[in-house]
Structure formats: C-alpha cells, structure tokens
Amino acid sequence: MANEDDGLGATPLFAALDPEAAADLRSCMTEVKLARGKALFSEGEPGDRLYVVTDGKIKLGRTAADGRENLLAVLGRGEMFGELSLFDPGPRTATATAVTDSVLLGLGHDELQPWLTGRPEVAGHLLGALARRLRRTNEAMADLVFSDVPGRVAKALLDLAKRFGVRADDGLHVTHDLTQEELAQLVGASRETVNKALADFASRGFIRLEARAVVILDIERLARRAG
Ligand code: CMP
C-alpha cells in the first residue's frame, strides 16, 4: 500500500493512483534489501525491472574504458530507476550500488505492462519523469561545458540538499553519505579540485563540512555561486 512510510506516494509510478489502485500495484512489486556497498545490477547487464527506493540511498555510476568512474545521480526515497532497459530493451546503462543500507521495490516488465495500457495516466506520469530527467541531464551537460568546478560543486550540493536536506537551527543538514571520491565523481572533476572548492565555500561561511555530510549555512550565496 502506498503510504508516507514507504515513500511511494511521491513516485511517478504511483502519483496518478487512488489508494486502492496503489495498493494493487504495490502488491505486484517485490522488496529487495541491499547492504551498503552492494551492487543491485551492473552496467551492460540485461535488465527488465525498474526499482523504487523506499529507504536508503542508491548511486548510479558508469565506468569509462580507462577505469575512471562517473556518477549520474544519487537517489533517495521515492525515486525510481532502472526503467530505461525496461522501456527500451537493452543493456543497463549504469551500475546501481547502495550508498547506505537500502530497501527497494522492484517491478518487472510483465507486471508493469497492464498498468501502462489500462491506466494511461500512469504512463503519463512515467513520461513526465523521463522528461524531467532529460532536462536535468541536458543542464548537467551544459554545466560540464560552461561552468567551473566550484559552480558545479555548488549545484551538486543544492541538488543533494533538495533530496536529503533536513532543516535545523544552525542550517540545512545534508547527510549525503558520499565519500570525497564519490562527490568528485558526481561533479565530474578531480577529488583535489572538488576538495579545494569545498574548503573555499567553508572558509567563506557558505557551508560547514562534516564526515559524509555538509551543513549549508548560507543557501543564497551558495545558490548565487551555482549560477
Ligand atoms: P537502466 O539503464 O535500466 O539502468 C540504469 C538506470 O540508471 C537507468 O535505467 C535509469 O533509470 C538511470 N539513469 C540513467 N541515466 C541517468 C541519468 N542521466 N540521470 C539519472 N538516472 C539515470
């Protein structure tokens, strides 16, 4: 059943459904528990299931021929992935790995099909989610060309804040759970350059650095730096 606890209500897949239909769809899905550091699937494998994160954080990464890694996204509760190889049969376009212990719900092609044909509004919401991702990807691509590393770091922090930020008296706490290396892979720059940008933001009072977390102290100035 889609309720606030499993984060499904916010998922495009469930957005169009009344509670009864949502419970129906939920009953077609299989729960998967993934321990921190474990991969759910790897880039290049065949796949025909999509997943929704109900708890934890999942990173989607790609490895270049020379072994360097790049993170496409870090997803949290209520977010969906794995639908590309389901809608467009072919190999997985990224490796999905648990950043923290995570719980997912998986839905196979055959279980999804009747919902797409029987409930066009479900298909509509999924198309909306794909369109939003394409917008984000285009923006990230433009940033790689036009923005400097500090600007991209500021953007990545604001994006993580949207997903994982929790407001407190002293600022917006963003427990991203990423290592410095992973943060650099998300920004698409070297660890040294990303660390330098973070240290600069901290010295200006935009953020406070903590282990696998940042506290955003001045969101306006950080947003101005993001451009
Ligand atoms: P699939 O190719 O089946 O497996 C990897 C998944 O990563 C893919 O489906 C998408 O759900 C997700 N994905 C691929 N590219 C991006 C991107 N640029 N931004 C966010 N998620 C992505």
Q: pLDDT tens across 91-108, in order? A: 999 999 999 999 999 999
Taking 50 as the threshold, does the pLDDT of residue 1 lie above it? no
What is the 114 CA–ligand 1 centroid distance (Å)? 23
What is the 94 CA–ligand 1 centroid distance (Å)? 6
Return the percentage of the chain with pLDDT > 90, whole number.
88
- Which tens digit of pLDDT belongs to each residue from 62-81? 999 999 999 999 999 999 99
Residue nearest to atom 1 of ligand 1 (CA): 82
| Positions of E strands within 114-212 | 165-168, 171-174, 207-210
Beta bridge partners of 207: 216
Which of the listed residues 58, 71, 81 should we mutate to test ligand 1's pocket, taking the one with most ligand atoms within 8 A of CB? 81
Q: What is the pLDDT of residue 84?
A: 93
Taking 90 as the threshold, does the pLDDT of residue 2 lie above it? no
What is the 194 CA–ligand 1 centroid distance (Å)? 24
Beta bridge partners of 41: 96
Cβ 84 under 6 angstroms from ligand 1: yes
Contacts of 62 (CB under 8 A, 6+ apart): 43, 69, 70, 72, 93, 94, 95
Taking 70 as the threshold, does the pLDDT of residue 3 lie above it? no
Q: What is the pLDDT of residue 89?
A: 87
Q: What is the pLDDT of residue 9?
A: 81
Q: What is the pLDDT of residue 16?
A: 86
- Which tens digit of pLDDT belongs to each residue from 25-45? 999 999 999 999 999 999 999
Predicted TM-score (pTM) of this structure: 0.94
> Measured from the CA of 80, which atom of ligand 1 is nearest?
11
Confidence of residue 5 (pLDDT cuts 50, 70, 90): low
Cβ 82 under 6 angstroms from ligand 1: yes
Cβ 81 under 6 angstroms from ligand 1: yes
CA angle at 214 for the pair 187 and 54, rounded to the nearest 5°: 80
Cβ 133 under 6 angstroms from ligand 1: yes
HSE-CB for 173 with a 13 A CA cutoff: 10
- Which tens digit of pLDDT belongs to each residue from 118-174? 999 999 999 999 999 999 999 999 999 999 999 999 999 999 999 999 999 999 999
Structure tokens at 31: 């729960």
> Measured from the CA of 41, which atom of ligand 1 is nearest?
4
Residue nearest to atom 5 of ligand 1 (CA): 94
